Amino acid sequence: MIQKSITYVSALLALAGFARAQDAAADQVAEGKKNYMMICIACHQPTGMGLPAVFPPLTKSPYVNGSPERFASIILKGNAGPFTVDGKPFNQIMPGQEAVLTDEKIAAVMTFVRANFGNTSGPVTAAVVAAARKKYADRKTPWAQAELDAWKDDAPAK
């Protein structure tokens, strides 16, 4: 009888922990949406579809759904065209956000984008963004597509 009670209590505690994690993820997505709507919306649009020939879509993007370190690095340092996404050319500059956004805000935006616009990737922690910020602290230029396409997880781009 005692063993059943212990098992039952353990199961309840596990469910409570899962519920807290779900609530935290929902809070992060809500925070990410708020920041996306203030900062990213002008270029990438409410739908994440971007603007043809100017700003690329975030929908089903390999840059969004690929390496979280690469995605964080793009937001931190920005990127400069020309870019080809889904066979379509884009040629604009995305300014880096490292001086404007905290690691938590960037992680929240990333989590929101990776969970919306047809994307199905998992959440990103502020620790991932902090590590990318530290790793590329000395970089002064935005990323080019060739660098991003050559990206290896946990290895600096050339």
Using one digit for the tens of pLDDT, what is the confidence trace for 64-75?
999 999 999 999
| Cross-strand bridge partners of residue 85 | 88
Q: Element (H or E) spanning 89, and its range?
A: strand 88-90
Q: How far apart are CA 52 and CA 66, in angstroms?
A: 22
Identify the pLDDT of residue 152: 85
pLDDT tens per residue across span 6-23: 665 555 445 445 444 456
Can you tell me whether residue 83 is helix, strand or coil? strand
Superfamily of domain 2-149: Cytochrome c-like domain (1.10.760.10)
Can you tell me whether residue 94 is helix, strand or coil? strand
Reported pTM: 0.82
CB 50 within 8 A of CB 58: yes
Alpha helices (H) in 53-152, listed in sequence order:
62-65, 68-77, 103-114, 126-135, 145-149
pLDDT tens per residue across span 102-134: 999 999 999 999 999 999 999 999 999 999 999
Identify the pLDDT of residue 22: 57
Q: How far apart are CA 118 and CA 46, in angstroms?
A: 13
Q: How far apart are CA 37 and CA 31, in angstroms?
A: 10
Q: Element (H or E) spanning 26, and its range?
A: helix 2-35
> Domain extents for the chain?
2-149
| Cis amide linkage into residue 82, ω under 30° from 0 | yes
pLDDT for 48 beyond 90: yes
- For the chain, what percent of residues have pLDDT higher than 70? 82
> Looking at this protein, which amino acid is placed at residue 31?
E
Q: How far apart are CA 48 and CA 37, in angstroms?
A: 11
